[in-house]
A = this chain, B = another copy of it.
Amino acid sequence: MDARLRGVLAPVLTPFNADLSPDAQRLARFCRWLLTHGCAAVAPFGTTSEANSLSVDERERLLDTILEDGVPAGRLLPGTGACALTDAVRLTTQAVRHGCAGVLMLPPFYYKAVSDDGFFRFFAEVIERVGDARLRVYLYHFPPVAHVGFTVNLVERLLRAYPRIVAGMKDSSGDFGNTKTMLDAFARGGFDVFVGSERFLLAGMRDGGAGCISATANVNAAAIDRLYQAWRSPEAERLQAEVDAVRGAVEKLPLIPALKAIVAQYAADPAWLTVRPPFVDLAPEQRDALLAQLTALKLAMPDVRG
């Protein structure tokens, strides 16, 4: 049996230098902090990581640095999906060669009139070219942003063709009905479904889910992990309501600049404020209101450093 990923994962925010180049050292420090403050693993190069605003070269160098800096490969689930087959192969090969626990793959997201056959062909080609039995692919389903995604038939076909390699899904559809469909169809077969927001964590666990991979885990992983650990307890509903309150405060605003503003504040490190275009900073009054609300909710990020 594999040591499968379970629990709370953060799609790690990517810090940038003033010249908009990624700051690898700061990223590594933040990954280490997350891993000791509620995260079972970290998922760099997700949507929240601004990974789709990074080149493949930048992503490769960042992963190398995180690993050199001591983040254990077994607790890493890097995003390696890409529009270009050759990019997805290159990023996935690097992750597997380093022994990463798995990879989280968006489908190629530029072209929209793509059939299940086409997506199957893409993933089959990536898996065959990477050609490593250690590969574990988690499918990243995010139709609200990607505008493409994974149907039940596609997942079924991929699982039949690559039963050990296709390992699970992050469902960021925002529709728990879809999550439940995937859980009912595949969870008993060992396909690990992570909800894409902690709002659905309790519901997901009750239906056989594996945890959550959520943007807000960058700032609230400890509390989300308490819910994950206690989901069978009488406290679960209260813990769910607590994490929902923080999520609610953050997701009213553009999520990535908001999360960066929170880290910058709690780490007392304004370098974290920088976002790469096409994102823009929060307005000062948005930031102040957000931080006041989180203080009222008693959000804590003990010992976080930039």
Contacts and interface: CB of A to CB of B under 8 A. Distances in A.
B53 A278 contact: no
A121 interface: yes
A122 B84 contact: no
A86 B277 CA distance: 10
Contacts of A83: 52-53, 83
A276 B85 contact: yes
Copies of this chain present in the complex amount to 2
B112 A53 contact: no
Contacts of A110: 47, 52-53, 109, 145-146
A119 B147 CA distance: 19
Size category, A interface: 35 or more
A242 interface: no
Interface stretch (A27-35, A54-62, A221-229, A263-271): A54-62
A185 interface: no
Contacts of A47: 110-111
A278 B121 contact: yes
Given A119-B278, A122-B277, A277-B122, A52 B254 contact: no
Contact of A108 (B125, B144, B278): B278
CB-based closest 9 A-B pairs: A52-B110, A118-B278, A122-B277, A121-B277, A55-B86, A122-B278, A114-B278, A52-B83, A55-B84
